[in-house]
Structure 1
């Protein structure tokens, strides 16, 4: 037979003693691992702290050595620039000899020389570059501008003159202007300090540490370029977190971080702060050590701990086997008694007198359990005798409940079928799941033809189909929708492809996966036709009224102006009354036409960016005559920056809004009071406010103040007259401009209307 795979269960122990021995062994191993892990964690923290502090101290020492070295060269070059024997009026040979001595006294000077104000080298140690133009070099013009030390750079002019070496020549420039007796600069004293100086400083500080700890030292400039360090990083820009920490800390520190080579390092850092009068060049010294090398002692400690754990586990296993046998002996006796009961013996379970309390308690419990099982067997036999009768009773109850559910379904179906509106059920996938006969009459599809088809593809015009699918998807995603439990109008299409308007009411029925949208649809084609006829009738009548009204108004104006001759006083009074009534009728016709244009969407707006102040002033001037008739004074209260407020508006329409608000305010203000027109900025909007001191609005009128033909029922409102169209027109015009109109009022304290329009710059 082929080899059968060994099951893991067959390898596990079966006896309790073996399990206890295994538990002792596993417990000892786990304890050893936990102990080693805890020691390793603590040792790792201590090693990291110790090595990190040491690396930080090395970085700080290197940084201090570099800053002190630069300070000495900084001071030395400044003193050279002040020496009398190097002044331009001294012999050239003596000056060159003095510079040769300076270069010989400090071997890291690659070049020392003096250049005149024209940028040409006058004298230099060993005559190097004499006569060359160095005016374009940074160290020359920086020294004249008060910057006396420059960062590390490659040799340019000296690269071809100085002896060849393994690494390219690199310099740190230090330069000071030398002055005449009056403090006027005569030229620049410059010195090129070989960057080999910094490498020697690094070696002196890191001597012994590099070999023992395998640590690297880097010098990084203020732009994060590596000036000194490993060959693979030299001249490259790095973005280590330790550089930012060095900038934020004056005393340095250390960090653990990953480097571009993919390895993790323990990094000590210190940033140079200059020394004495030398301001520093922003060099940061990093001393890094690979984590594997740093944590090598910890790994050795873990290995020792694991070896000790293995030995302890072996000892615990041997002792565990002996203890397990002693512990499990009473349980074995208990198991033997249980096997006798299983074979049918009725003798009670007995245990030795030296057994544990737990074993004795278990024996007593088992004895009670056996007696209980005998009693339960007797009860079970009695229960079986009545089981069939109970099953039959439950079956009858379920059948009665099913009949009730079916009756409810039939009632709901009858109600839906008898509904005056079309009913369409739509599941959460957007497919039609229910359909009454009225829907078939409205759309021309039978129930069988409609069920299962997407509602967006069958009933919705193609241009709107995507919006229906998006609305259903949004409901499934958020559980909310703006089309539920409200009436809204939509365009639908029937089987013949004819589109017609309907009013839709949608709700959600059911729960979970069985939920669906119940949609009732009412054809409003006739209603829309009547509304269209009404609009056309109103528009036609208004236009027809305009023509005779224009003639009547012109004739009455001629009579009032005396064009037809002087009129008697009583006739003039009648003519004035007729003029006022004619003007009122013209305004009524214009308001009706504006409302009709707004409702039909045919009101035109000619928007352009313009100042709002002239519009406000024009409206105020236009209403002065009407205000005088009402015995009311109009006053402007414009902000100081009102002239700068620009908006993208139709000037005539905004003027119409303002004159309407001003006329209402003047109409409802007591004689002798003031109406104030304000214009100011409100955030990114312009705010225009019209404030009166009239009787205010009643509370029950506030909710319908902007509705067409809305008028307060107070006696004062009736006496003042009006059609109730003005504020509705104002609201529509303002909203077409992207603005808002609102009001504040209190009975007996006046009313303030506020119009807010978006500023052009916003």
Structure 2
């Protein structure tokens, strides 16, 4: 593909007016601008106030400065390349050509060959155009980085800062970029590179002496064979404040709703039980529906309160050594009535975990089991069986709950344990729910140092597996109180 001709500004420096005019004429004939200069000093002064693309400099090969061949003129410093082409009389063939003087980029013999001059200037124009494109891309990347609201630091493998965006300068050095370049990242942030790369959320120091909680994202790459690490530092101050305000609002609203709802539920329950006198037959379904939906609303309020406590790290778990067998039996009994009402049977196999003990909060583990069992029951067709098994696995104990329902859709599994997630979120869904139960269950199990997951290879229905670490066994109960206390303290704090 042919490239468009590039017009250059050529500074023609020649003490001989005749040859200077001839050179300018050739430059103009090639479609470039020619700026004639009588000597190096005048040209240097002009360059302090103006810009040129190429210097065409008359050169005496015998000229030297401090014993070495140099261009002999002062060119103002710039981050752009200013090519210098020397023009001189041809040397005697018997004399060897001297090396290209310092500061020069090319050498042409006089009289100037028009084709050769055109080729050299075209090459200079192409290189200058490429340089401008690269500079434009660099400036574009700089502008993009400076418009990122998060602080971005790039450091080398020794932990020295090599680049920082505007937000980083404002955060760590009061807006002075020069004080960041070359500084040690530990002196800047208060943490070494290893800690920053390892931790996603930590407290960092500011340039004004304060500190803030930040989320750090890390990426590693190479530049000219040197290792670079880029840190994207997001200030979480506003996010944490908004989350705290949201949690406080939800907790307040939920608490204010619970008091009148308890009174309403109590009154409706009395009406349904006949304590206030028999209700007409037409009124009984309405009262039962009011009671059922009131209990559902009460459960939702409890879930919201639990969620705000867990996410705000304000829920204290009373963790102690508990036998899992009796807890599972209690969970089955608590859900038998619900299962019977839907025509579903609960079958428990606790033989392989009869002596299983773990450090758990009994009430919170029962809450987890109530969620898993009730989900399994309401998703199972009438006449089917929900199974609960207690097994020993992976240095701990596994509680497995399986149903014979339709299973979990593939597209829904990746966010199954997120807040307000439901496989069927439509208004007409058959199975109700708030979408908070599994999320709360996951948070509770993790607070008890366990894991909960959906078993992906279940052939029918859905199978959930709760794993809890084995801390105590029946034969090692004596003398293990200190171990239990230490683990409990670690879990709570």
Category of TM-score, reference length = shorter chain: 0.5 to 0.7
Q: Runs of 5+ in structure 2 lacking a partner? A: 1-92, 109-118, 474-493
Q: Deviations over 1:444-503 (max 9, x none)?
A: 14123333322222233xxxx2xx34358xxxxxxxx667xxxx4443332222222344
Whole-Å Cα distance in 2 between the matches of residues 499 and 390 of structure 1?
Answer: 52
Q: How far is the alpha carbon of 1:658 from its aligned partner? A: 0.9
Whole-Å Cα distance in 2 between the matches of residues 749 and 538 of structure 1?
Answer: 38
Structure 1 pair 398–384 and aligned structure 2 pair: CA distance change class (3 A): farther
Matches within 5 A, 1:417-496: 417=143, 418-421=146-149, 422-443=151-172, 444-460=174-190, 465=191, 468-471=192-195, 488-496=200-208
1:652 corresponds to which of 358, 363, 373: 363
Q: Deviations over 1:403-439 (max 9, x none)?
A: 8457635642453244233443323222223334333
Tell me the residue number matched to 1:631: 343
1:573 corresponds to which of 285, 290, 300: 285
Structure 1 pair 508–408 and aligned structure 2 pair: CA distance change class (3 A): farther
Verify the 8 A CA contact 2:164 2:177 in the aligned structure 1. yes
Verify the 8 A CA contact 2:157 2:227 in the aligned structure 1. yes
Whole-Å Cα distance in 2 between the matches of residues 529 and 596 of structure 1?
Answer: 14
Verify the 8 A CA contact 2:166 2:175 in the aligned structure 1. no
Matches within 5 A, 1:375-390: none
1:703 corresponds to which of 385, 403, 414: 414
Whole-Å Cα distance in 2 between the matches of residues 490 and 470 of structure 1?
Answer: 13
Q: Deviations over 1:358-384 (max 9, x none)?
A: xxxxxxxxxxxxxxxxxxxxxxx8996
Q: Secondary structure at the match of 1:734?
A: helix
Tell me the residue number matched to 2:467: 756
Verify the 8 A CA contact 2:321 2:472 in the aligned structure 1. no
Whole-Å Cα distance in 2 between the matches of residues 509 and 759 of structure 1?
Answer: 42
Structure 1 pair 612–390 and aligned structure 2 pair: CA distance change class (3 A): closer
Q: Deviations over 1:129-160 (max 9, x none)?
A: xxxxxxxxxxxxxxxxxxxxxxxxxxxxxxxx
Q: Secondary structure at the match of 2:340?
A: helix
1:614 corresponds to which of 308, 318, 326: 326
Whole-Å Cα distance in 2 between the matches of residues 761 and 604 of structure 1?
Answer: 22
State the structure with more CA Rg: 1
Tell me the residue number matched to 2:248: 536
1:678 corresponds to which of 364, 389, 393: 389
RMSD: 3.4
Verify the 8 A CA contact 1:697 1:746 in the aligned structure 2. no
Verify the 8 A CA contact 1:692 1:751 in the aligned structure 2. yes
- 2:118 is the counterpart of 1:392: no
Verify the 8 A CA contact 1:606 1:649 in the aligned structure 2. yes
Verify the 8 A CA contact 1:432 1:450 in the aligned structure 2. yes
Structure 1 pair 679–502 and aligned structure 2 pair: CA distance change class (3 A): closer
Structure 1 pair 453–683 and aligned structure 2 pair: CA distance change class (3 A): closer
Q: How far is the alpha carbon of 1:506 from its aligned partner? A: 3.8
Tell me the residue number matched to 2:16: none
Verify the 8 A CA contact 2:171 2:207 in the aligned structure 1. no
Tell me the residue number matched to 1:526: 238
Structure 1 pair 620–398 and aligned structure 2 pair: CA distance change class (3 A): same
Whole-Å Cα distance in 2 between the matches of residues 631 and 408 of structure 1?
Answer: 73
Q: How far is the alpha carbon of 1:747 from its aligned partner? A: 9.5
Q: How far is the alpha carbon of 1:570 from its aligned partner? A: 1.9
Tell me the residue number matched to 1:342: none
Query: Aligned pairs, how many?
Result: 363
Q: Secondary structure at the match of 2:424?
A: coil
1:666 corresponds to which of 377, 383, 387: 377
Q: TM-score, normalised by structure 2?
A: 0.66
Structure 1 pair 445–658 and aligned structure 2 pair: CA distance change class (3 A): same
Q: TM-score, normalised by structure 1?
A: 0.44
Query: Which structure is higher in helix share?
Result: 1
Tell me the residue number matched to 1:87: none
Whole-Å Cα distance in 2 between the matches of residues 402 and 429 of structure 1?
Answer: 35
Structure 1 pair 449–523 and aligned structure 2 pair: CA distance change class (3 A): same
Whole-Å Cα distance in 1 between the matches of residues 333 and 428 of structure 2?
Answer: 25
Q: Runs of 5+ in structure 1 lacking a partner? A: 1-380, 473-480
Structure 1 pair 424–647 and aligned structure 2 pair: CA distance change class (3 A): closer
Q: Deviations over 1:618-674 (max 9, x none)?
A: 1110111111221212222222x4321111111111111111111111101111111
Matches within 5 A, 1:211-360: none
Verify the 8 A CA contact 2:390 2:398 in the aligned structure 1. yes
Verify the 8 A CA contact 1:646 1:760 in the aligned structure 2. yes
Q: Secondary structure at the match of 2:142?
A: helix
Whole-Å Cα distance in 2 between the matches of residues 423 and 715 of structure 1?
Answer: 42
Verify the 8 A CA contact 1:423 1:438 in the aligned structure 2. yes
Q: Secondary structure at the match of 1:537?
A: helix
Q: Secondary structure at the match of 1:519?
A: strand
Moved more, 560-569 or 617-626: 560-569
